[in-house]
């Protein structure tokens, strides 16, 4: 039985709306600001990968103090939030400003259940690495074959 994924459905809806408006001479109703990974946004980019026993999430958080990050896991949803401090704008004329400041929240639906009690996080060189051990039921189980 397939599980319903709200984020996948929202992305499919965005694509359908863009396709419907493409014939009117535009690049779609929703520009790159609504497309993950293609524009300026308050949310830092994330990578999710894993092996047989663990999921790993990498989040780019340069310039954010690790103490200002909040990481929670509930059921199979990871939430990372924090705040990038504002830069003093006095006596500055901005010619280009791509690094945003302020609060952000990223929510990621994990593909399997994890053991929330064993989740660990570390931050090095502006990359937050979250290690999420898979729940025992989600790990592959080796089955031995008996020889008769």
CATH code for the domain in which residue 117 is found:
2.60.40.790
Q: 28 and 63 share a domain?
A: no
Domain-located, residue 36 = yes
Give the per-residue pLDDT at 38.
42
Whole-number Å distance between alpha carbons of 9 and 116: 26
Residue 91 inside a domain? The answer is no
Arithmetic mean of pLDDT, 2-30: 69
To 10 degrees, the CA torsion angle through 26, 28, 33, 39? -80
What is the value of pTM for the model shown?
0.66
For 71-121, how does the pLDDT look when each residue is reduced to its tens digit (9 = 90+)?
999 988 999 999 888 777 778 887 887 777 788 888 999 999 999 999 999
Model confidence band, residue 142 (pLDDT cutoffs 50, 70, 90): confident
Choice between 32 and 94, residue whose per-residue pLDDT is larger? 94
Structural domain containing residue 18: 1-41
């Amino acid at each position: 039985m397939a599980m319903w994924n709200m984020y996948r459905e929202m992305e499919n809806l965005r694509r359908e709306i863009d396709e419907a408006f493409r014939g009117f001479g535009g690049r779609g109703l929703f520009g790159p600001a609504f497309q993950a990974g293609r524009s300026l946004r308050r949310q830092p980019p994330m990578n999710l990968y894993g092996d047989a026993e663990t999921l790993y999430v990498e989040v780019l958080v340069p310039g954010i103090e690790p103490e200002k990050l909040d990481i929670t896991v509930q059921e199979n949803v990871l939430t990372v939030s924090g705040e990038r401090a504002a830069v003093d704008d006095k006596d500055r004329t901005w010619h280009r400003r791509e690094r945003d400041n302020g609060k952000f929240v990223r929510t990621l639906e994990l593909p399997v259940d994890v053991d929330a009690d064993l989740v660990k996080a570390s931050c090095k060189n502006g990359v937050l690495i979250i290690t999420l051990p898979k729940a025992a039921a989600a790990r592959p189980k080796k089955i031995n074959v008996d020889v008769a």
